[in-house]
Structure formats: structure tokens, C-alpha cells
Chain A
Amino acid sequence: MFRIVVAVLLTLLAVPARAQVTGSATFVSDYRFRGASLSDDRPAAQVAFDVDWPSTGWYAGGMMSNVRTDAGHAVQGLVYGGYVQRLDADLSWEGGVRYTRFSGGESYAYAEAYAGVTFRQLVGRLYYAPNYFNAGYGTWYAELNDSHALTGHWYVFAHAGYLRRNGNVADYHASRFHSDLRAGLGFAVQPWNIQLSWSTAHGAPDVALGYPSAADTHRNAWVFSVAYAW
């Protein structure tokens, strides 16, 4: 699957005239995914690239990050591709898929489809992964993201997510629901983007959701990040 997606991306990149390619490198004090730390509450480094074909609406990209899972150090790879259509100046919709896997003996590989609507700065998306983190059950995840510019280069942002896993949770004696919140302050001066945010999670434990988190990670954390784009 990973090879197929990469091959598709390389094919698309063969049409460079209309493509807009962007890269970024990010240092983050705690790599948190939907409220769960994938870096054992420690810093992580990430590189990403995004490719747009604005005249067609198609887009694609990828990311790599170091992670600390229950099995120790690993590298995560992620690719995605989708289509976005602008309905008017403020409103657009999108749909796509993304695929991720981890290095090491346990890949946790899974694919996820998503659809979303953007109204100005407000973004809502719904994700479905039939085999979330290769744990054998499907998962729905809904998120809402918003941001507002402040004076100068400052802005505030917020994120709310709600996850529901399918399958039997009786073994975990826990809820099948999980929520996460994040809110923070950002400072963006191209090509730099600096953020400080508070992240918190509630509901089902990480292990009940298939996350490859290290044991005893915190559910609440301050997260600081510095990103450089080119």
C-alpha cells in the first residue's frame, strides 16, 4: 500500500509545471496525536512535504517523524492524497485518504479515509479507519479546528476531537469513546511558525484505542513547537 501511494505521488510530481511543492521541518516538545503522546512525552522532529495542483483540486503529501512507542524508538511514515473543491470564497469541501505505518517489528499500519468542510478558518473533518492502528477494529474520529488572527503575527487556535471505536471493549472495562482538546497561541512570520498549546485527553485509555503509546504517558501536556517552511 505504501509503495503504491509513493508511486502515485512520484507520478503526479512528474507534472511539475502546475505543481506547487512545499516542505517543512518541525521540532515539537511532545508529539501528540489525538491527545495521545507518540513520543513518550518527549520531543520529536518531523519533516513534511505537500504538493498542490491548484488548477485541478488534487493534492498530496507526506511526513516522517521519530516516535517512541511501547517498542522503543521508531520512525513513522505517512502519505496522503485528496481532492478539494472551492464552493465559494469562504466555503470548500475535501475528501481523501492517508496511510501511515511505523518502523520496527510492529508496523501499526493502517489507512484512513476522510471528508471535510472548511468555512473560512473553521475546519470540520470526519475520519474513518477500518483497522485503526492495525488493531482489528474500525474507528470514527470527528474534529473541529479553528483559529483567529490577533494583532501582528499572533494568532490563537483551538482543536476539539471526538473518537469512537467499534468492536468489543469489554476486555478493557473502558469506554469506547475518547475526546481530546487543544488550544494555544501561535506566532507566524514566514517561514517560521511557533506555537504553544495545552493538550488534554479524556475517555478511553490509549491501549483501548490501539495507540502504540509508551506506558504511563500523560494525558495533559504543554506542547511547544517550532516549524520552518520552505
Chain B
Amino acid sequence: MKHVWLFAIWLSVGMAAHAQTQPPTQVLVMLRAAAPHLRAGDGYAVSYTASPDENARLRIAHALAQQYGLQVVDSWPMPALGLDCFVMRLAPGTSASDVTQLLSHDARVESAEPRQAFHTLAGDDPLYSLQPTANNWHLAELHAAATGHGVAIAEVDSGVDSGNPDLAGQVVEQRNFVDDSAYRAELHGTEVAGIIVAREGNGVGIAGVAPHAQLLALRACWQLADGSAASACDSFTLAKALQYALQKHVHIINLSLSGPDDRLLERLLDAATAQRIAVVGAVDDSAADGGFPASYKGVLAVAGERSTVQVHDVLHAPAEDIPTTQPGARWNLVNGSSFAAAEVSGLVALLRDLSPDITLTQLHDALHARTALGLVSMRPMTIDACAAVAQVSHRCICHCAATHASLGEPRR
């Protein structure tokens, strides 16, 4: 029975995803309808109610369909708008936007548009409200501006289970740099992946910070024991994974791990920086300098909001009780700077989405953008995600209506 339910969930998730990602296959064509008026037979014949002009519009609709390679499949009068709406199916291989543009220039047509898929605005990720980023970062408002489209993120970690419904279709590539065995799904990698790219609005689990980013799950670490997220890596496996990330020209590398300084890895990180790849590293609270690679120059060091580690330019993000994905169709709450780093990787993907040519300096400045008053040195650097996105997008992102009303200027 459990498998039946899991299959049903998987099926519904898959179908929803299919519907949302498929380009429109139909267009809506609006034809003007005259207001009711006297007709030839009125008063002379008996047709006080007849409105034969709909035949004329149906004839026009068929003529349009033939001219533009469409098929009339349905129609509906919309007297409130003075229109008849015709649904026409596109021929295979034709673009809805191209056809609607052509139709819009036809004098017989009032307007035309793709038949688009919409969704309800109810929270569709059951654990969404538990995500600190949902409230603290105003994730829904951020997603109105960007979702990470076209941004590739290399997660160098333990194995990721792409079979979790929240990760289905989100992982574009899995590579194992640990050994020659098959790729393996593990806890830590799956937990980090969910925070970054979990599917949004699919009816289960959580919403990733960058749900439309492309995740490369590069397994460079291995889980030490069943049921525990504790994982180990070495400089060689990490180097192989970093090399691969560079080769793939990813935009972001997430390193939710820590260790000693390592020259090979430093050089690879330098190469990444030279390629304008944003490297996000988790701060190790037990290391005085935050640990490597977080302490390395150019790396965006991320600590938990309650971290007391004194690291230059460290960013603070939620790190406690974070709901996220686990292998299988499971979710759980996790804690640790690994997950704070994952959140920031997602945020960087949003900024990259908004500004593909953004430099690392601009990225750094955006992540340190603040709205509160006071000296930077006197405040903890908890990320203001809204301010970061607003700075890059040059427009108001969060609480815009209230801000306009009270301040007369957008929140930055």
C-alpha cells in the first residue's frame, strides 16, 4: 500500500512538472462580437432572439486556423468583454509566441495569447512554512524576481538522491569521485541539495532557494555510517570534483565541508575565482579561522546565525532546524553551517539569474547589502536576501507596497 501511495505521489509530481515545463500547445484567439442590435428580420420576421452573427465569427475562426496552421478545438462567448474566445491547437513544432504575434497583427483578431498553465497560490510545499528562508529571506518574493534559471551549481559533497520527489528532475548530473563504484545516495549530500534546488510548488516537501537552478551532484565525500550524515572527503576526491566543476563551467560551487589548508585545492579555487565562479564555503565553528576553504580568499564564507566565529566578511544565514530532503521520499530537520552555505549558494544562483554577468565583487557587495542603519563593523552580517536581490535587480523586491507608502522609495 505504501508503494502505491508513493507511486501516486511520484506520478502526480511528475505530471505537474510536465504540465508546468511544457510550452503551450494551444492559443486563445479573441474575436470581437458586436453588441446586440437590430437585425434585418427584427419586427418583420419572428427572430426576436436570434443572434446569427456567431456564425460569422466561427467562419472567421476557421479561416484564421487554416491560414496560420491551427485547429479550432473550442470556443466560448465572453460578452462581458464583447468577445468570442476561440481555442486553437498549434501544429507540432510551431511556437505559440510566434503564432500569437502573427495573429495579433491580423485585422480580424482582437487579441491572441498562448494558453498558459497557471497554479493556485496556496502554499504547496508542506514544510515550506518551517523553512527559515521562507520568512527571513521572503523566499516567495525573491522567487517572483528569480528562481535560478540557467545557473549551474556544483555541489561537491556526498551522494545526492535524485529520487526524492523534491529533487526529481533537479539534478542534471551525478558523478562519483570517491571510487569506481556506482553513484550512491547519501544523507548529507541529499540534505544540502534539497535546500538549494528542491522543487517548488510540487505538493510535497520544501522549496529550494533556487528551484530552477541546475545541480551537478559531484560525490567527493562518503557517508561514514548508516543513519548519520557525518561524511569524510579527502583532498584528492575534492580536487577531482573541483576540476570537473571547472571543466563544466559551472557558475557556483558549494562546499559544505571543512578541513586543513591545501595548496592543490587553493589553486583550484583560484582557477574558479578567475572563471568568475562563486565558491561558497561553510564555516567550521570549531576552527578559529573558520576552516578551509571558508577562510580562503575569494570564498564566500557562511556561518550559522548564532555562530561566534570571527571570520572576515563572514555571512550569516539560518542554520538551525532547517527542513530538507533526505534519501527516499523523506524529509527532516537539520542543523549546521553546511545548510547555511547551501542557502547562500541558492541565493547566489538567484543573483546570477538576475544578472548573468555579475562580477564576484558585485556579488560580494550585493550579499553584504544592508537596509538597517548603523556601522557595518558593529552589526553581525546576517544576510538581507531582499536587499541583495534588490541591489542586483535594481527594483523593489519585498514589501514594496508598504515601503512605497511609508518611505516613497523602494526597499533596497
Contact = CB atoms under 8 A, between A and B. Distances in A.
Contact of B48 (A84, A159, A230): A159
Given A54-B32, A121-B49, A195-B47, A18 B38 contact: no
A184 B48 CA distance: 10
Given A54-B34, A63-B44, A48 B54 contact: no
A177 B34 CA distance: 34
B52 interface: yes
Consensus secondary structure, chain A interface = strand
Contact of A28 (B31, B36, B42, B46): B46
Nearest to A229: B52
B375 interface: no
A107 interface: no
Given A155-B49, A225-B45, A190 B54 contact: yes
Interface residues of B, number: 34
Interface in A59-87: 59, 61-63, 65, 76, 78, 80, 82, 84-86
B47 A52 contact: no
Interface stretch (B55-63, B115-123, B272-280): B55-63
Interface stretch (A88-96, A167-175, A206-214): A88-96
Interface in B6-53: 31-50, 52-53
Consensus secondary structure, chain B interface: loop
B80 interface: yes
B50 A54 contact: no
Contacts of B107: 17-18
A60 B378 CA distance: 79
B41 A46 contact: yes
B79 interface: yes
Interface size class of A (residues with CB under 8 A): 35 or more
A118 B38 CA distance: 10
B37 A82 contact: yes
Given A17-B107, A78-B44, A86-B82, A147 B49 contact: yes
Interface of A: 17-18, 20-24, 26, 28, 31-34, 46, 48-50, 52-55, 57, 59, 61-63, 65, 76, 78, 80, 82, 84-86, 89, 92, 94, 96, 98, 114, 116, 118, 121, 123, 125, 143, 145, 147, 155, 157, 159, 182, 184, 186, 188, 190-191, 193, 195, 197, 223, 225, 227, 229-230
The 7 closest A-B pairs by CB, nearest first: A54-B32, A229-B52, A20-B56, A48-B40, A92-B35, A63-B40, A17-B107
Interface of B: 31-50, 52-57, 60, 79-82, 107-108, 110
Given A55-B110, A229-B50, 9 more contacts: A20-B57, A24-B52, A61-B39, A63-B41, A84-B36, A96-B37, A116-B37, A125-B38, A186-B49
